[in-house]
Amino acid sequence: MKPGNNPNWFAGNPVDRAYEKRAQDGFLNSLLSDPDSILIPLWHGDPLIADGRALFLTMAARSEFPANAPLVFLGLHDGKAHFAVDVSNAAQTPDAAPFADLGEYAPIRAAAAVITRDDLAMIGHARWLFEWHRKHQFCAVCGAKTEIRDGGAKRQCEKCEAEHFPRSDPVAIVLAIHENACLLGRGPHFPPGFLSALAGFVEAAETPEEAAKRELFEEAGVRLTSVRYQFSQPWPFPSSLMMGFIADAEDRTLTLDTNEIEEARWVTLGDTKSLLRGEEIDGIFLPPKFTIARQLLERWTEAN
C-alpha cells in the first residue's frame, strides 16, 4: 500500500507563511494597517461560525478586542494577510465574547464537520500557536520573561535573548492488521464502543516506526512487522503531529495494559466496511472523518 495525497483535515494549510518577510522591519505593521487584511477570532481555541462557515473579520474589527489580546500572523492567502486573535480573556463565556452576536464560538471538533478544510487548517494553525505561546512565556535557558517575535513564529528572551520556536509533539498512530481484520481499541477516557487505532508519543531517541512497535506491544501485547508509513496530520489538541502507519501483526493475541486500553478487539474487513457505510455493528462507533484514525481505516478498506 503506497502513500498517496494527504487526505487529513488540518493538513494542507493554504497560507504562504512568508518566512523570508515576516522578520523584516515594518512588514507586519504594514499588513496590520491594511484594511484588506483578515482577522480570525478564537475563543479558547474555538472558531466563530455561522450558517456552516467560519466567520473571518476585517482588520477594522481589531479595535473591538482587548489591547493585550494575543495576535499571530498566519500568512498570506488569496492576496490577503491572515492574522488570528485570541479573545479568551475578553469574556467568561463564548456568547459574551466579541462578535458572538454574529454567530457562535463553536467547539473546533464540531466546526470541523461543517467548515471548509482550508479554513479549518488555518484555524488549527492559530489554535496551535496560541497554546504554545501560552505555555512558553518564560525562557528555558534563564527563566526570564519571553516576548512574541516575528508575528508569533518565535519567542525571544528579554534577558539572555535566547530564541524559542514552536515544536510539535510527534505521535505514532497505528492500524494493526492480521489477515482480514484490524485492531481497534479505546482508552478509559473514551465512551464504550468508541474504537480507534492505537497511538502513543514518540519517545526520546526513537524513530516513529520504533514507537509504533513499542506502543502496540506495551498497550495491547501485539507484535508488529512491516510497519508502513501512510501520511501525517497536524493535530492541534494541543500540539501533536500524528504520523499514521499500517502494520502487520504476528497474531491476534491481546494482552491489554488496562491503564491505557480499556477495550480492544479485532474487527473484520467486512464489518469495518459496513461501519464506514454508517451501519451499526456490535455497538461500535468509529472516529469521525476529520481524524487520522478514520482516514487510516478508509485507506485500508479501499485497498482491500
Using alpha carbons, list the distances in angstroms from residue 37 to 74, 114, 162, 213. Answer: 11, 24, 31, 46
Helix H segments across 2-116? 27-32, 108-111
SS3 228: strand
Tens-place pLDDT, residues 124-151:
999 999 999 999 999 999 999 999 999 9
State how far Cα 36 lies from the chain centre: 28
For residue 238, whether the previous peptide bond is cis, meaning omega lies within 30 degrees of 0, is yes
Instruction: Check residue 1 and give its pLDDT.
Output: 39
Q: How far apart are CA 109 and CA 103, in angstroms?
A: 16
Domains and CATH numbers, the chain: 27-135 (3.90.79), 169-302 (3.90.79.10)
State how far Cα 60 lies from the chain centre: 29
Which residue carries 462557515 as its cell?
53
Q: How far apart are CA 2 and CA 246, in angstroms?
A: 11
Residue 117's nearest CA partner among 273, 10, 239 is 10
Which residue carries 461501519 as its cell?
275
Q: How confident is the prediction along the chain (304 residues), in pLDDT tens digits per residue?
A: 344 589 999 999 999 999 999 989 899 999 999 999 999 999 999 999 999 999 999 999 999 998 899 999 999 999 999 999 999 999 999 999 999 999 999 999 999 999 999 999 999 999 999 999 999 999 999 999 999 999 999 999 999 999 999 999 999 999 999 999 999 999 999 999 999 999 999 999 999 999 999 999 999 999 999 999 999 999 999 999 999 999 999 999 999 999 999 999 999 999 999 999 999 999 999 999 999 999 999 999 999 9
What are the two backbone dihedrals, phi and then psi, of residue 272, each rounded to the nearest 5 degrees? -60, -45
Helix H segments across the chain? 27-32, 108-111, 117-135, 208-220, 269-276, 292-302
State pTM to two decimals: 0.93
